[in-house]
C-alpha cells in the first residue's frame, strides 16, 4: 500500500506535535515543582521581614512583588542579592544559610510568579552610564532623598517612609545606572518610593539632575 505523501506528512507532524506537547508539559511540571519549593523556602526564610506574599513593609524590608521592581530586576540580580545579602543592612546572605544554589533558583522562580508586564531588565542594564556631577547630585540628594534614605544613603529602618541603603555597596555593586535611573523616574507603586520625574512626580527632577544623583551615589560606597 502506498501512503499518500500528504497523509504521511500529517502523521509525522502529529507525532512531532505530541512530542513537543509532552516535553512542554514536562517542563511546566518541573517549573511548577520549582515554584512550589521556592514558595516553601520563602515562607521559611523571608516572610519574617518581607511579609507574607513578599509585599514588604516600609521601615522593615522592601516589597519583592512590586511590579516596577520585578520588571527591571534580572534573575541574576535577584539570585545574587539573595546569595550575598546586603552587608551592613538587615538583609542576610543566604548563600551561607540555604542548602544549595538550587534553593535560591527556586526562590527566584517563586518571585517571578508575581511579575507583570514586560521584562525590561536587559534594556535597563544596557542603558547608558550616568554622566552627572556628583557635587550637584549631593545637593539634590540632600533636598529630596536624604529624609527617607539617610544622610549618606545608609538606609533608615525607623519610620514608615524609610528607604533602603542605596548608598551602600550591597545595592550599588549589583544595580546598574539604568536600573537606578528607572526607579528614580518611575518610583515603585504601592510603596513610599514615588517617581521623581514629570509634573506628577514628588519633585520634578530633570534627566540631568537624576544623572547627578546617580553619580553622587557612585562615590558613596
Ligand atoms: C518618602 C520616602 C522616600 C523618598 C523621599 C525617596 N525614597 Fe527611594 N525608596 C523609599 C522606599 C520606602 C523604598 C523601598 C520601596 C520598596 O518597598 O520597594 C525606596 C527605594 C528606592 C530605590 C531602590 C533601592 C533598592 O534597594 O532596590 C532607589 C534606587 C531609590 N529609592 C532612590 C531614591 C532617590 C534617588 C531618591 C531621591 C531622588 C529617593 N529614593 C527618595 C522611600 C523614599
Ligand atoms: C532579617 C530581615 C530579612 C530577611 C529574613 C530577608 N530579608 Fe531581604 N531584605 C531585607 C532588607 C532590610 C532589605 C533592604 C536592604 C537595604 O537597605 O538595601 C532586603 C532586600 C532584599 C532584596 C532586594 C530588594 C530591592 O528592592 O532591591 C531582595 C531581592 C531580597 N531582600 C530577598 C530576600 C529573600 C528571597 C529572603 C529569604 C530567602 C530575604 N530577602 C530575607 C531584610 C530581610
Residue 20 has pLDDT above 80, yes or no: no
pTM: 0.90
User: How big is the chain by its Cα radius of gyration, in Å?
Assistant: 22
Q: Average of pLDDT values for 111-132?
A: 96
- Ligand 1 atom closest to residue 86's alpha carbon, by position in its atom list: 26
Domains assigned to the chain = 25-112 (1.10.760.10), 125-218 (1.10.760.10)
Q: How far is CA 167 from CA 28, 149, 208, in A?
A: 40, 8, 19
How far from 12 is each of 1, 6, 7, 18, 157, CA to CA, in Å? 18, 10, 9, 10, 63
C-beta of 48 in contact with ligand 2 (< 6 A): yes
Q: Which of 129-133, 147-151, 158-162, 212-216 has the lowest mean pLDDT?
A: 158-162
> Residue whose CA is closest, atom 29 of ligand 2?
78
**CA–centroid distance, residue 211 to ligand 2 (Å):** 26
Choosing from 137, 149, 150 the residue with most ligand 1 atoms within 8 A of its CB, the one to mutate for a pocket test is 149
Band of residue 160 on the pLDDT scale cut at 50, 70, 90: low
Ligand 2 pocket test, pick from 62, 88, 97, 102 with the greatest ligand atom count within 8 Å of Cβ, gives 62
Condensed to tens digits (0 to 9), the pLDDT of residues 163-192 reads: 999 999 999 999 999 999 999 999 999 888
Mean residue pLDDT of the chain comes to 89
**Contact assessment for residue 201 and residue 144, using Cβ atoms and an 8 Å cutoff:** no
Given a contact cutoff of 8 angstroms between Cβ atoms, the answer to whether 85 and 92 are in contact is: yes
**pLDDT tens sequence across 67-106:** 999 999 999 999 999 999 999 999 999 998 999 999 999 9
Amino acid at each position: 500500500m502506498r501512503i499518500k505523501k500528504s497523509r504521511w506528512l500529517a502523521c509525522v507532524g502529529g507525532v512531532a506535535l505530541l512530542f513537543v506537547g509532552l516535553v512542554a508539559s514536562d517542563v511546566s511540571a518541573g517549573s511548577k515543582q520549582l515554584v512550589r519549593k521556592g514558595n516553601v523556602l520563602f515562607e521559611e526564610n523571608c516572610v519574617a521581614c518581607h511579609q507574607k506574599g513578599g509585599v514588604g513593609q516600609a521601615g522593615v524590608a522592601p516589597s519583592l512583588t512590586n511590579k516596577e521592581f520585578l520588571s527591571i530586576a534580572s534573575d541574576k540580580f535577584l539570585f545574587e542579592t539573595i546569595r550575598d545579602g546586603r552587608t551592613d543592612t538587615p538583609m542576610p546572605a543566604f548563600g551561607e544559610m540555604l542548602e544549595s544554589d538550587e534553593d535560591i533558583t527556586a526562590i527566584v522562580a517563586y518571585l517571578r510568579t508575581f511579575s507583570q508586564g514586560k521584562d525590561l531588565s536587559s534594556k535597563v542594564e544596557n542603558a547608558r552610564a550616568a554622566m552627572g556631577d556628583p557635587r550637584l547630585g549631593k545637593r539634590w540628594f540632600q533636598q529630596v532623598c536624604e529624609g527617607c534614605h539617610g544622610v549618606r544613603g545608609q538606609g533608615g529602618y525607623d519610620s514608615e517612609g524609610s528607604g533602603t541603603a542605596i548608598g551602600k555597596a550591597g545595592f550599588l555593586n549589583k544595580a546598574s545606572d539604568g536600573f537606578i535611573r528607572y526607579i528614580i523616574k518611575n518610583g515603585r507603586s504601592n510603596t513610599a518610593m514615588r517617581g521623581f520625574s514629570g509634573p506628577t512626580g514628588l519633585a520634578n527632577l530633570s534627566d540631568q539632575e537624576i544623572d547627578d544623583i546617580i553619580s553622587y551615589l557612585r562615590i558613596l560606597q
